Amino acid sequence: MIKRAMFIAFLLVPMLSTMAQDTSQAVLREKVAEAKDAIDGINETLTEMKTTLSALSKIKISGYMQSQLTASSGAGGYAGAPTSGPTAVGNFQGGALGSGVSTRFLVRRGRVKIMYDNDLTQFVLQFDATQGGFTTKDAYVYVKEPWLKTFALTAGIFDRPFGFDISYSSSNREAPERTRMYQTLFPGERGLGMKIEAIPTESMGLLSLFNLKFGVFNGTGSSANEADNLKDVIGRLGVSLPFQEQNIALDAGVSIYAGGVKDNYSKYIYKKVNIIDSTASNKGATFGRTYYGIDAQLYADLLPIGGSSLRAEIITGQQPGTKDDNRSLGSITYPFTGHLYLRNFLGYYAALIQNIGLQHQFVVRYDAFIPNMDVSAKHIGETGSNMGLGDLSYTTIGIGWVYYYDANVKFVVYYDMISNDTVSPATTTATYKPFMKDLQDDVLTFRVQYKF
């Protein structure tokens, strides 16, 4: 019996071992299959995540906030000061202070910019949130051709391609505001239209020194609907000249603005000194709004304490307006509800910026705007004169200090000393009487900016 049992055990052990081995391999195969399924699932998830992250990486969000205190040299600048319009105190320093108001806090700009950048194409939205409300600043599509990567089309709401100061971001500008000249001719800076630009690459040799921007716009600003079926044509040809051995760079450009407005109010058109054109066909006719500009920016290491920049622009041409307002459409109600004034204007500015180390900047800027080169303001208010506040010339000297606290925060202290032409001492019109002398309308700005 013992021998028989041992014989049976001898036969069963290999069989049981084989069965156990088969079971173990089956379990292993099952585990391997489960692991493979899990890995495949992880790979699918990673592929989906990669696609999502790739799309999200193309979304770029940036913005800046400018909070400031503004103070005038007088309560409202002068007795009877208007609370709005081109002669209101502080109107060109961030917004009118209002009659009887000499100091105020405000959020000058609160910008958030969203860009979807897909290399050759871009989708851009930028909003501005302040105590005055919520507005759209930019809304455009950008498309670059894929062959030479030199030509691009922009369509929507964006900066008008004229001069230098328009395209220079308010977050980078050393002075709190653009010059009176630019705020008068280009209120809001932006327009609604389409632009083609050519920016040659370095592989194109000397052509890479030049750039060209050309656009067609409604001419009614960035938010108003088309009102007269006219279109404004704007363009700038720029050149960049690097002098590397001398540590100097020069950028310059010439610009042109060819537009027009319709006068549907009356046949009377005022030109130069009391010249009235009353041709019957004037009513409903189109009158030109034409600007010619030259700008230059010089960057150099003149002093061992830091880099220096010198910027200058000059613009001249014809500007349509009303008797007491020489600003472009977007600031004046359009179509006009008053007689049309055609003025030959001249505006210019020069600014010197000196860096001291990496944290300090000092800036001095002089700007002048002469809205009517054919008249003298001393005749405003005289008997028989058709001139108004729209003919007043202004000069502004700005002095400022910029301190970069860190990569995000900067402080600005800036003082505008504003001088105006004076009107006829014989005037009896209440609107003109305050302008018999230089107004108390200097403005001090203290600003804190956060940018990300």
Per-residue pLDDT of 49-68, as tens digits, reads 787 787 889 999 999 999 99
Q: What is the pLDDT of residue 329?
A: 75
Statement: residue 5 has pLDDT above 60 = no
Summarised one tens digit per residue, pLDDT across range 323-365 is 889 998 766 777 777 789 999 999 999 999 999 999 999 999 9
Q: What is the dihedral of CA 255, 376, 444, 97, to 10 degrees?
A: -100
> Closest Cα to residue 138, out of 183, 189, 186, 212?
189
Statement: residue 182 has pLDDT above 80 = yes
Q: What is the pLDDT of residue 149?
A: 95
Q: What is the pLDDT of residue 15?
A: 60
Statement: residue 76 has pLDDT above 80 = no
Domain ranges in the chain are 1-56, 64-451
pLDDT band, residue 20 (cuts 50/70/90): low
Summarised one tens digit per residue, pLDDT across range 126-136 is 999 999 999 99
Summarised one tens digit per residue, pLDDT across range 354-412 is 999 999 999 999 999 999 999 888 888 888 788 899 999 999 999 999 999 999 999 99
% of residues, the chain, pLDDT over 90: 61
CA distance 96 to 222: 21
pTM of the predicted model as reported, rounded to 2 decimal places:
0.88
pLDDT band, residue 252 (cuts 50/70/90): very high
> Average pLDDT for residues 90-109, to the nearest whole number?
91
> Closest Cα to residue 277, out of 342, 186, 328?
342
> Average pLDDT for residues 141-166, to the nearest whole number?
97
Q: Which residue has the higher pLDDT, 25 or 111?
A: 111
> Average pLDDT for residues 21-48, to the nearest whole number?
75
pLDDT band, residue 30 (cuts 50/70/90): confident
CA distance 410 to 173: 11
Q: What is the pLDDT of residue 352?
A: 98
- Give the 3-state DSSP-derived string for 331-380, with helices as H, strands as E and coil as C: CECCCCCCCEEEEEEEEEEEEEEEEECCCEEEEEEEEEEECCCCCCHHHC
Statement: residue 308 has pLDDT above 90 = yes
CATH superfamily of this structure's domain 64-451 = Porin (2.40.160.10)
